[in-house]
Amino acid sequence: MRQGEGMRARPERSAAHVVLIGGDGIGPEVVEAAAQCLEEAANLAGREVRFTRAAGGGEAIDRGLGPMPDATIQACLHSDGVLLGAVGGPRWDRLPGALRPEAGLLELRRALGAFANIRPVRLFEGLEDATPLRPEVARGTDLVIVRELLGGLYYGARGRRDQDGRILAFDTMEYADVEIDRVARFAFELARKRRRKLCLVDKANILETSRLWRERVESLAGEYPDVECTYQYVDSCAMKLVQSPRSLDVLLCENTFGDILSDEAAVLAGSLGMLASASIGGPVGLYEPVHGTAPDIAGQGLANPIGAILSAALLARLDLQWDDVAAMIEEAVAATLQEGFRTRDLVAGRATEGAGGGAGTPAVRVVGTREMTAQILERLPLFASRTGDDARRTTRGDGGRDHGIPGTGGRR
For 368-380, how does the pLDDT look when each residue is reduced to its tens digit (9 = 90+)?
A: 999 999 999 999 9
Q: What are the φ and ψ backbone dihedral angles of 313, each rounded to 5 degrees?
A: -65, -40
Cα radius of gyration rounded to whole Å, the chain: 21
Q: Average model confidence (pLDDT) for the chain?
A: 89
167's enclosing H/E stretch is strand 166-171
Nearest to 268 by CA among 355, 410, 142: 142
pLDDT of residue 401: 33
Q: Which residues of 193-224 are buried (b: 16+ CB within 10 A; e: fewer)?
A: bbbbbbbbbbbbeeeebbebbbebbeebbeeb
Reported as a pLDDT band with limits 50, 70 and 90, residue 385 is: confident
Q: Which residues are annotated as a binding site for NAD(+)?
A: 89-102
Nearest to 154 by CA among 178, 169, 179, 172: 172
Mean pLDDT to the nearest integer, 41-65: 97
Does the domain made of 132-269 have the CATH classification 3.40.718.10?
yes
| Cα 126 versus chain centre, distance | 21
The answer to whether the beta carbons of residues 270 and 161 sit under 8 Å apart is no
Mean pLDDT to the nearest integer, 287-307: 96
Query: pLDDT tens digits for 182-229?
Result: 999 999 999 999 999 999 999 999 999 999 999 999 999 999 999 999
Query: pLDDT tens digits for 302-320?
Result: 999 999 999 999 999 999 9
Which residues are designated catalytic? 154, 203, 235, 259, 263
The answer to whether the beta carbons of residues 6 and 185 sit under 8 Å apart is no
Q: Which residues are annotated as a binding site for substrate?
A: 109, 119, 147, 235
Percentage above 70 pLDDT, the chain: 87
* Bridge partners, 50 (sequence order): 17
Q: Where are the alpha helices (DSSP H) in 139-292?
A: 177-192, 208-221, 234-243, 255-264, 266-269
| CA 111 – CA 158 distance, rounded (Å) | 20
pLDDT of residue 352: 54
**Degrees, nearest 5: CA angle 61-309-144:** 100
* Bridge partners, 201 (sequence order): 232, 253
Q: Which residues are annotated as a binding site?
A: 89-102, 109, 119, 147, 235, 259, 263
Question: Is the model more confident about 1 or about 84?
Answer: 84
pTM: 0.86
